[in-house]
Amino acid sequence: MHSRMRIHGLSALLVLLLLVPTASSQITHDMVDAEVALGPVETAPLGKRMSVSRVSDPVQVPFTGIAVEIGSTARMVEVDVRFSSNDGVSWTDWEATHVTASPAGGTFLAGLYRDEVISASKYEIRVLADPASITIIRESGVFDNTRDVDRNVPEGLVAIAGKTTGDIIPPPLITRSEWGAASFKGGSPSPLTTGAFRFMTFHHAAGWSATTRAEGIAAVKAIQDFHQNGRGWSDIGYQFLIDRGGRLYQGRPFLDGATSLDQVPLLALGAHVGGANTGNIGIAILGCYHPPEGSQCAEQITPEALNTYITLFAFLSERYGIEPELIRGHRDFSSTACPGDNNYVLLPEVRTDVVQLLIDGNAPIGAAAVTAAEVKAGNVHLSWDVLDTGTLASIIIERSIGGSTTAVAELDPESGTFVDATAPADVEISYSIVGRSVDGRRQELASVVVNVDSPLRFTLTSAWPNPTTNDATFRYFAPHDGFVRIHLFDAAGRQIRVLQDGFLDGGSWHTTSVRVDDLPGGVYFYRMRVDGFSGTVFDKTRQLIVR
């Protein structure tokens, strides 16, 4: 009977481990100075609740606090900690930790900190939860707040202003007041640098994933809650955060109360990289991107988030004088997997893209619109209007097929026409009207997608003009019948316009114009979705900039 009960216990534990949503453990790793192994799980009824506990291995470093990651199907858990004497004979009374729940559910982060070093050889973690729930203590570690930059602000810090002009327009910013930040703790924020900015650091906020604005706000507030109340920092550790939809959130307060990046704010010292925070700007993407840590950590960065990262890095580089080669990952400074293997491998490409954006800029150098793109006798006939010559020195016609782009003509910066007699058949071809400025900057002014024959698949073209102030036009092709929805969204993900919402016959091009003169300037997105009998058969989003 005893043997059978033991087998059943092991089976139950296995089921428990399989059923509780897999988390990253990265949440704990990025909060602690040293990871501490935990002993076997002990469970016992405690009143109307179930107690799940684990005792740590001996702690080998001085520490002032601990962080613990909990996985549970319960809506909320209570986490207590007690400490052993140095000789391991006696234990302190249980102390309640601060518990922060992941907005995505299934994961909790608990923390306890003191102002002085804790004299103990081990600690025990106890989780109290509904006995009907499945609960596990995943990972734990210790930290030493006496070493934190928040408590040991370097001498000689000065507020350094960036350049007020440049060629990079920053992403829209969701400010602290907009996401409902709690107040900064412990006085006033300190300046970021002693005289020069040193690094821009790529993080991932493991376990706190978010795609929509509402999810992003919830995740950022949860991160701030634990950073302040579980970790003991003055505020959220990062200067900026980005969700998977590409939205940018303000982290630490700006010293001058700026409400946008256009104002080139005075940046505050953060607490995102132990021992290397001075002059270091931290930007975290919400989500977990380290596959070895489990299914929740297998995320790939979205194109929207990567574009925001590159634009923000380029803006910070241009305005604050940080060279792109100084973009780093968190793991370059300390023993952590952050920003995750899936992100870290992208850093060389990110640096290259930032350099290119600094060369090209994203501030308009002129404006143009493709007015016609027709196929006649196998040739593609392009017509365009130059709407604003700005600083244009020339117009370049570029043809893109797959991943290959070729310049097929360079002309004077004026309205005109061009016939491409070398366009291949049966492939989608993108033609871009690229402007070259008098100072050498290159920028796409307009584009159109054509096919010498009818397209073989759904197609959504770029809008023209883009950027625009009054209206914009784009085309789309449906090779077969389907229910087509096209909506316009703002940078926060709010629906602004319904441009198409109904059944369309296939086999023809359609043209849509959208007025934007009543919209505030910024970045917008139009998204086309086509539903068929088998579900969504096409889903494409393109960007529209309103000036």
Contacts of 155 (CB under 8 A, 6+ apart): none
What is d(CA 489, CA 500) in angstroms, rounded to the nearest whole number? Answer: 13
289: exposed, middle or buried (C-beta count within 10 Å: 0-12, 13-18, 19+)? buried
What backbone torsions phi and psi does residue 159 show, to the nearest 5 degrees?
A: -85, 115
Say how many C-beta atoms besides its own lie within 10 A of residue 330's C-beta.
25
Q: Which H or E run contains 526?
A: strand 522-532
Q: Region 170-174: what's the mean pLDDT?
A: 95
Q: Token pair for residue 119?
A: 């004299």
Q: How confident is the model at residue 335 (pLDDT cuts 50, 70, 90)?
A: confident
Rounded to 10 degrees, what is the CA torsion of 435, 438, 441, 445?
-20
**Ramachandran area for residue 330 (φ above 0: left; ψ -120 to 50: alpha; else beta):** alpha
Per DSSP, what are the bridge partners of residue 196?
none
Q: How confident is the model at residue 3 (pLDDT cuts 50, 70, 90)?
A: very low
14: exposed, middle or buried (C-beta count within 10 Å: 0-12, 13-18, 19+)? exposed
Do the first three CATH levels of 16-147 and 173-360 match, i.e. the same topology? Answer: no
Domain layout of the chain by residue ranges: 16-147, 173-360, 364-453, 457-547
Q: What is the pLDDT of residues 126-164, one digit of tens each?
A: 999 888 889 999 999 999 988 888 878 888 999 999 999
Q: Is the pLDDT of residue 182 over 80?
A: yes
What is d(CA 301, CA 316) in angstroms, rounded to the nearest whole number? Answer: 21
Q: Is 213 helix (H, G, I), strand (E, B) or coil?
A: helix
Q: Which H or E run contains 318?
A: helix 303-320
CB contact at 8 A, 87 and 1: no
Edge-first strand order for the sheet with 508-515 is: 459-460, 471-478, 508-515
CB contact at 8 A, 230 and 166: no
Reported CATH class of domain 457-547: mainly beta
Q: Which CATH architecture has domain 16-147?
A: Sandwich (2.60)
Q: What is the pLDDT of residues 197-220, one digit of tens each?
A: 999 999 998 878 899 999 999 999
Q: What angle do CA 431, 434, 439 make, to 5 degrees?
A: 165
Q: What is the pLDDT of residues 33-84, one digit of tens each?
A: 888 999 999 999 988 889 999 999 999 999 999 999 999 999 899 999 999 9
Q: Is the pLDDT of residue 510 over 80?
A: no
Q: How confident is the model at residue 187, as a pLDDT?
A: 86
Average pLDDT of the chain is: 87
Q: How confident is the model at residue 432, as a pLDDT?
A: 94
Q: How confident is the model at residue 6, as a pLDDT?
A: 36
Q: Is the pLDDT of residue 11 over 60?
A: no
CB contact at 8 A, 167 and 361: yes
Q: Token pair for residue 415?
A: 């309205």
Q: Which H or E run contains 216?
A: helix 213-229
Radius of gyration for the alpha carbons in the chain, expressed in angstroms and rounded: 27
What is d(CA 212, CA 220) in angstroms, rounded to the nearest whole number? Answer: 12
Contacts of 219 (CB under 8 A, 6+ apart): 102, 103, 104, 205, 208, 209, 210, 243, 286
CATH code for residues 173-360: 3.40.80.10
Q: How confident is the model at residue 17, as a pLDDT?
A: 38
Edge-first strand order for the sheet with 49-55 is: 42-46, 49-55, 123-129, 78-83, 95-96
Q: What is the pLDDT of residues 427-450, one digit of tens each?
A: 788 999 999 999 888 889 999 988
Q: How confident is the model at residue 228, as a pLDDT?
A: 95
Q: How confident is the model at residue 454, as a pLDDT?
A: 60
Q: What is the pLDDT of residues 249-294, one digit of tens each?
A: 999 999 999 999 999 999 999 999 888 999 999 999 999 898 876 6
Q: Is the pLDDT of residue 499 over 50?
A: yes
Q: How confident is the model at residue 25, as a pLDDT?
A: 54
DSSP 428-446: -EEEEEEEEETTS-EEEEE
Q: What is the pLDDT of residues 525-538, one digit of tens each?
A: 999 999 877 678 88
Say how many C-beta atoms besides its own lie within 10 A of residue 404's C-beta.
7
What is d(CA 473, CA 461) in angstroms, rounded to the nearest whole number? Answer: 9
Per DSSP, what are the bridge partners of residue 323?
none
Nearest to 514 by CA among 503, 500, 502: 500
Contacts of 9 (CB under 8 A, 6+ apart): none
Q: For residue 126, what are the CA distances in angstroms to 45, 64, 68?
A: 12, 19, 10
Instruction: Indicate the angle between helix axes 347-360 and 303-320, nearest 10 degrees.
Output: 60
Reported CATH class of domain 364-453: mainly beta
Q: How confident is the model at residue 455 (pLDDT cuts 50, 70, 90)?
A: low
Q: How confident is the model at residue 294, as a pLDDT?
A: 60
Query: Greatest CA span in the chain, whole angstroms?
Result: 91
Q: What is the pLDDT of residues 374-387, one digit of tens each?
A: 877 557 889 999 99
What backbone torsions phi and psi does residue 432 show, to the nearest 5 degrees?
A: -120, 135
Contacts of 27 (CB under 8 A, 6+ apart): 69, 107, 109, 206, 207, 208
CB contact at 8 A, 286 and 210: yes
Q: Token pair for residue 299?
A: 């995320």
**Least reliable range by pLDDT among 105-109, 117-121, 216-220, 350-354:** 105-109
Q: How confident is the model at residue 23 (pLDDT cuts 50, 70, 90)?
A: very low
Q: Region 355-378: what's the mean pLDDT?
A: 85
Peptide bond into 465 cis (omega under 30): yes
